[in-house]
Structure 1
Amino acid sequence: MSPRPSRHLALTGGLCLALLTGCGSSTDSGDDGGDSAAPSPVKVVASTNVYGSIAERIGGDHVEVTSVISDPAQDPHSYEADTRNQLALSKAQVVIENGGGYDDFVDRMLKSGDNTSAQKINAVEVSGKRASADGELNEHVWYDFPTVAKVADRIAAALGKADPDDAAAFEKNAETFKAKLTPLESEEAQIKKEHGGEGIGITEPVPLYLTGASGLVDRTPEEFSEAVEEGDDVSPKVLKETLALYSGKKVRALVYNQQTSGPQTEKVKKAAESAGIPVVPVTETLPKGEDYVGWMTSNVNALSDALTR
C-alpha cells in the first residue's frame, strides 16, 4: 500500500523562521550602531547534536553550541572524548547531557576539569523516568516527546540565567519549539488508534519511547536487544527466537538502529527483508543537515508508512 500523504507531518525546514532570534550558533560581531560591543554568546556544550540542535533553536544567535558527538557513524555508548572536548567543557556556561549512563564521559571530564560554575542539564533526571523493579532504565529519552519539552524549558531557563537580557527571547523560542512537538505526539496517537497492540521488532531499545507512545508492542526477546546494546554476543537460542519473529511474520515492522549494526543485527535485518517485513531505520544522533524536529518527523512518518504496507 502506498504512503498516505495526508497523514504525514510536514518537515520543518522553516522552523528557524518561526523563532524570534533566528537559528544557528553564530556569534554577533557586527556593528550594532552604538559604542558598546555586542554581548558574547552563551557557550553551550551538548553531549550529542540532538541536544545541541535543541539548544540552537532556543538560543538562536545568542548561543555558541558545541556538540561533542555529531557524526552518525559514532557510537555514543563507547565514545572517548578528547582534549578539544575538554577545552570546550572548561569554558561552557551550560552543559547538556543525556544521563542514565549514556554519556558518562561528560561527567568524567567535568570532574577532571576546573569548571565548577557551568549549569548542567541531565535529560534523564529532567524526565523523571526510573528503571522498573525488574528491568533497566531505557536511557534514550530524546525519543520521548514530553521529556524533550521539559528539557527545552530547562535549557531556556539556564540560558536566561546566563544571559538575563535575553531571557524572554529564550522562553518564547522554547514555546515555539515545543509547539512543533505537538504534531509529532498527534501522529503517535493516530498510529496508536489504527495499529495499537500490533507487534514490532527492534535491534536495541533506542526507539521504544516512540513505539510505545504509538501503542506498538515490542516482541523482541529482551536478551537479544540487551546484548546488542551492551555489545555482547547473542546466544544461538535467542538469535533463533528472534529470527522466528520475521520468518513467522509475527511482527509488522523491524525498527533497526543503523548506528550500532553488527553481524547478528544484520541477520535480523535480512530475515525481515526476506519475509517482506518493512525495516524502519533509526539513529541515535541527527543525520547531517537535519534539526531535531525534522529528524523526528521523518522517523514518525517512516514508522507510519511501514505499518500501512
Structure 2
Amino acid sequence: MPAPSSLRLALITSASLALLAGCGSSSDSGSDGSASKGSTSSSAIPVVASTNVYGDIVEQIGGGKVDVTSIISDPAQDPHSYEANTQNQLALSKAKVVIENGGGYDDFIDRMLKSGDSSAEVINAVKVSGKTAPEGGELNEHVWYDFPTVGKLADRIAAALAKAAPDDAATFTKNAAAFKAKLKPLETKEAQIKTDHGGEAVAITEPVPLYLTEASGLVNKTPEEFSEAIEEGNDVSPKTLQDTLALFTGKQVQALVYNEQTSGPQTEKVEQAARTAGIPVVPVTETLPKGKDYLGWMTANVDALASALDK
C-alpha cells in the first residue's frame, strides 16, 4: 500500500519539539483527534499506539497504570494515507512502550522512531502474529481481525508493561488473562458460523476482514485485482469491476463485507449492486468506531456477519 509522505518528518526539528513540549502534554490530542482515555496517575507508563484499536487493548491490560496516546483515532481517517506530525513525534519521544501494526500498514511509526530519540520497547503486531505472506502472494496485515493473534498480543503487551513497571506485573498479567478470556466467545461465534455456513461464498471490498471470514469458514470470491486496487488506492479496470459486480447480479455470494472507512465511487457501485440484488452488506472499519471498545466492536462485527448469512 502507498507509504505516507515522509516530507513532514524531515521538517521536524529539535526546536519544534521543544516548542511543543512547552505547550502542554502530547497525550491530550493529536491533529486527528487522538487522545488518552480515562484518568491516570503521574507515574503512569506512557504508551503510544498507531491506532486506537491497539490503544484500547493496552488500556484494558494496563488500566489506570498506563497513559495511552492513539495516533489514529478518527473513524473517517484512512490509516493507509496518514501523515504524521510533530505532536506524534513528541509523544513517541516520551513513550516507554510503542505498539504498531507492522506489515507495511503504519510505517510512519518506524520512520519517526528512527528520526527521533526513542528508547521505547516496540511491539509489532504482525511479528507477534507470526504470519507471513503466502507463496506468490501478499501478507494480509490486518491482524487485529485475527483473535488468536490478539490473544498473543495481549500477553506481549502485559510483558512490556511489566518491564516498565515491575511492581505492577501481576496486575498486567491478570488483566491480560481476563482480556483473553473475553476473546474466547468471539472464537466460539466464528466456529458456529463455520458450522452453519462453512463453504459459503462472500465478497469483500478490501482484505481488512479476511481473517474473520476465513476463521468463519467462508470463501472469498472477490477478484483479487479488485480488492488489491481498492486497498492501494488505485482505479479498478472496467473488466475487473464488471467481474466483481457480476458476483451480485448473478447471486454468487451470500454477503458483501464492506470497508466503509475507505469507500469511493467503485466500492459504492459494488455496495449498490449488492443491495439491489438483495444481498446483505456487512460494514466494517479499520479503527474503533466512536464509543466502542475492541471487544464490543468485534462482537458486533461477528454478530453482523452471522446475521447476514442467516438471512
Q: TM-score, normalised by structure 1?
A: 0.88
2:225 is the counterpart of 1:198: no
2:97 is the counterpart of 1:84: no
Assess if the C-alpha contact under 8 Å between 1:204 and 1:229 holds in 2: yes
Q: 1:217-248 deviations in whole A, cap 9, x for unaligned?
A: 00000000000000000000000000000000
Structure 2 counterpart of 1:171, from 145, 170, 173: 173
Once the 2 structures are TM-superposed, how far is the Cα of residue 24 of structure 1 from its aligned partner? 5.2
Structure 2 counterpart of 1:47, from 46, 50, 75: 50
> How do 1:97-246 and structure 2 match up within 5 A?
97-115=100-118, 117-246=119-248
Distance 2:41 2:105 in 1: 34
Distance 1:170 1:25 in 2: 17
Q: 1:248-302 deviations in whole A, cap 9, x for unaligned?
A: 0000000000000000000000000000000000000000111000000000000
Paired residue for 2:297?
A: 295
Partner secondary structure for residue 254 of structure 2: coil
Once the 2 structures are TM-superposed, how far is the Cα of residue 28 of structure 1 from its aligned partner? 2.4
Partner secondary structure for residue 110 of structure 1: helix
Structure 2 counterpart of 1:255, from 254, 257, 265: 257
Q: 1:90-112 deviations in whole A, cap 9, x for unaligned?
A: 00000000000000000000000
Paired residues in the alignment total 276
Paired residue for 1:57?
A: 60
Q: 1:174-233 deviations in whole A, cap 9, x for unaligned?
A: 000000000000000000000000000000000000000000000000000000000000
In the alignment, structure 2 segments of 5+ residues that lack a partner are: 1-35
Distance 2:117 2:310 in 1: 54
Partner secondary structure for residue 58 of structure 1: helix
Displaced runs of 4+ in structure 1, greater than 4 A? none
Distance 2:111 2:187 in 1: 35
Distance 1:293 1:241 in 2: 35
Greater RCO, CA 8 A, separation 6+: 1
Distance 2:108 2:37 in 1: 25
Partner secondary structure for residue 57 of structure 1: helix
> How do 1:10-29 and structure 2 match up within 5 A?
25-28=38-41
Distance 1:92 1:140 in 2: 24
